[in-house]
Structure 1
Amino acid sequence: MAKTIRIHEFGGPDVFQVEDHDLPAPGPGEVRLRQRAVGLNYIDVYQRQGAYPNPLPLTLGNEAAGDVVAVGEGVTEFKEGDRVAYGTALGAYAEERNVPARLLVHLPEAISYEVGAVMMLKGLTAQYLLRQVYAVVPGSTILVHAAAGGVGLFLCQWGHALGATVIGTAGSAEKCELAKRHGADHCIEYRREDFAARVAEITGGALCDVVYDAIGQATFPKSLDCLRPLGMFASYGAASGPIAAFDINLLAKKGSLFATRPSLFAYSAKREALVRMTEDLVTAIETGAVRPEIHARYPLAEVAEAHRALEARETTGSTILVP
């Protein structure tokens, strides 16, 4: 029997229940894991609330790291005892679970389980945003909303390492200082400053090549005012609520802008893409370009408290659950 966190209805953090689960043997193409650390992400909140509905009862969580304890028929890439991680396999809030082998990657010995549990969804999100959605190069100017958050810190560090001028936004002076310690050249307290006006001031009117936005409703459409002509608006989250439908002609009025709503699930859907992206991320970590940090740890059974802190925007960096 393994402890699993389930919800039987959508709602607030109080819907979580700790249950004993009799896990079956891994099926064909599956791997059974003993999980050592589970990453917490804002998408977990959306899924708990039912904004991204999944069939009930439901075990949340998309990223974790642990050890292979059994493999199913046809699995050749992994064996018992391997250290592994994943970032797009719903059902992570558990002590043990079965995962499709195609979603797993090998975790190098030099990378801890805790880092493995937060590098996959958050780190690979930063990878596709910085390297694929808009290819950041030396001399690029990027705006990172929620710069002190889990993905935000990855973007600040990696963007800085790639040679970009990194402008962040955050909700307090403390969060801005954290973003600056992790590579942001400038950080704007959006609660007391007009971030679009400050971006224009910082850049001397040249504005940004790309805006990476995990906030949504509260930062749109003002984020478009931060972009140079032909710039890219990349909306990858909606912590303040979803962006409402808008007239696409607005993009022309603001300077023939591009706008996208990408997801890690699409960018890593092919096995070869997942492996390639992970190799790029691991190299960034091993060279010190990216330094994932765990700022909070909760026992798995205290997942409701972790969700309350996340929703209240009390968290910075990465948070993990410990099975």
Structure 2
Amino acid sequence: MTQVVELSATGGINNLSLLSRDPGDPGPGEIRLRQTGAGVNFIDIYQRKGIYPLPMPAVLGVEGAGVVEAIGADVTHVAVGDRVGYAGIVGGYAEARLLPAWRAIKLPEDLSDTLAASGLLRACTAHMLLCKVHAVTPGTTILLHAGAGGLASIVMPWAKRLGARIIATVSTEEKAERAMARGADKVIIGRDADIARDVRKWTDGRGVDFTIDGIGEPTFRASLEATAKFGTFASVGQAGGELKSLSAEDLAPQRSLGFHTPSVMAYLADPARYEAVTKEAIEALRSGPQTPQGPQFPLSDSSIAQSSLENGATIGTPLLVI
């Protein structure tokens, strides 16, 4: 028996319980992974609330790392004892779990379990944004909200390697320092800042080529106004509130922009793409800061970790240490 954090029904963190469960033996094409860590992401919160529905009861968590402790038939690319990471499949809030073998990515020696478990999903998200949603090239200008968050800590160094210029938003001076350290060229500080005005000034009135907004309703209008004609707007989350005011008129031809709501879960659902994307994601993590990206919590404190992330009290990516 192993410990898991189970969600009994959609709603608040009170519906998360630490229980004992038998992970079972791996079937054909599966492995059993003894986990060392699992990342805590906003998608976990959306699933807990029912915004992204799951069958109940459910074990949340869509990324992690650990050691292979058993393999099923027809598994050849990993072996018992291998250190691996994964992303894009629920079930991470657990000491041990079954996993489709194709999801298991061998970790290089110079990449820690901690960084892989808290960064692989975000690195895959960064690949989706910078390579698929908007192909970033030298000179591309980017507006990135939550510039001290876990996604930003990977997106910004990667985008800078591609030659981008970045303006980020943060809520505090402390977070501004972190955003600058990660590669922001300019930082807008404060929840009441005039984001659109400052972005337009920074771009000589043109607006940015690419806006990445994970906040939602509180920044949506400013993000629209800050995006240049024929630019790209990617809505990647609604941490600050659901997009209730979005209408077809907002995307009328006079704006001439591409509006995307990309899903990294869908992006990673194809095995061939998953293999290619995770390979580049691993290299991005190795190229970036080799330090934990945020606070660490024991598995038993998963509800505290979620609350901390949801309330904006964290800098970086929370990690459940198992």
Bin for the TM-score computed over the shorter chain: over 0.9
Which residue of structure 2 lines up, in the alignment, with residue 105 of structure 1? 105
d(CA) in 1 for partners of 2:292, 2:162: 20
Which stretch shifts more, 238-247 or 303-312?
238-247
Are residue 15 (structure 1) and residue 6 (structure 2) matched?
Answer: no
Which residue of structure 1 lines up, in the alignment, with residue 248 of structure 2? 248
SS in 2 for 1:210: strand
Which residue of structure 2 lines up, in the alignment, with residue 184 of structure 1? 184
Q: 1:284 touches 1:290 (CA, 8 Å); kept in 2?
A: no
Which residue of structure 1 lines up, in the alignment, with residue 117 of structure 2? 117
C-alpha offsets along residues 196-221 of structure 1, whole Å, 9 cap, x if unaligned?
A: 11101111112100001111111113
d(CA) in 1 for partners of 2:264, 2:196: 28
d(CA) in 2 for partners of 1:166, 1:23: 44
C-alpha offsets along residues 21-53 of structure 1, whole Å, 9 cap, x if unaligned?
A: 122111121110000111010111111112212
* Structure 1 residue runs of 4 or more that deviate by more than 4 Å after TM superposition: 289-292
SS in 1 for 2:308: helix
Uncovered stretches (5+) of structure 2, i.e. residues with no partner: none
Are residue 306 (structure 1) and residue 305 (structure 2) matched?
Answer: yes
Q: 1:7 touches 1:15 (CA, 8 Å); kept in 2?
A: yes
Which residue of structure 2 lines up, in the alignment, with residue 293 of structure 1? 292
Q: 1:118 touches 1:292 (CA, 8 Å); kept in 2?
A: no
Question: TM-score, structure 2 length as denominator?
Answer: 0.96
Counting only pairs closer than 5 Å after superposition, residues 158-173 of structure 1 correspond to structure 2 as 158-173=158-173
Which residue of structure 2 lines up, in the alignment, with residue 51 of structure 1? 51
- One-letter code aligned to 1:206: R
Which stretch shifts more, 141-150 or 153-162?
153-162
Which residue of structure 1 lines up, in the alignment, with residue 278 of structure 2? 278
Counting only pairs closer than 5 Å after superposition, residues 1-323 of structure 1 correspond to structure 2 as 1-244=1-244, 246-286=246-286, 288-289=287-288, 291=290, 293-323=292-322
Deviation, 1:291, is 4.8
d(CA) in 2 for partners of 1:209, 1:154: 19
SS in 1 for 2:312: coil
Q: 1:143 touches 1:166 (CA, 8 Å); kept in 2?
A: yes
d(CA) in 1 for partners of 2:5, 2:70: 22
- One-letter code aligned to 1:246: L
d(CA) in 1 for partners of 2:122, 2:201: 30
SS in 2 for 1:209: strand
d(CA) in 2 for partners of 1:227, 1:45: 28
Uncovered stretches (5+) of structure 1, i.e. residues with no partner: none
C-alpha offsets along residues 157-190 of structure 1, whole Å, 9 cap, x if unaligned?
A: 2112211111101111211111111101111124
d(CA) in 1 for partners of 2:133, 2:291: 22
d(CA) in 2 for partners of 1:224, 1:91: 36
Deviation, 1:296, is 0.5
| Closer/same/farther in 2, CA of residues 281 and 19 from structure 1, 3 Å limit | same
SS in 1 for 2:252: helix
C-alpha offsets along residues 115-161 of structure 1, whole Å, 9 cap, x if unaligned?
A: 11022211110111011110111101001011111112211221122
| Closer/same/farther in 2, CA of residues 49 and 198 from structure 1, 3 Å limit | same
RMSD of aligned Cα (Å): 1.5
Q: 1:119 touches 1:292 (CA, 8 Å); kept in 2?
A: no
d(CA) in 1 for partners of 2:283, 2:295: 25
Q: How high is the sequence identity, in percent, across the aligned residues? A: 39
Q: 2:71 touches 2:79 (CA, 8 Å); kept in 1?
A: yes
Q: 2:32 touches 2:68 (CA, 8 Å); kept in 1?
A: yes
Question: TM-score, structure 1 length as denominator?
Answer: 0.95
d(CA) in 2 for partners of 1:37, 1:246: 37
d(CA) in 2 for partners of 1:291, 1:180: 17
Aligned length: 322
| Closer/same/farther in 2, CA of residues 207 and 292 from structure 1, 3 Å limit | farther
d(CA) in 1 for partners of 2:120, 2:280: 12
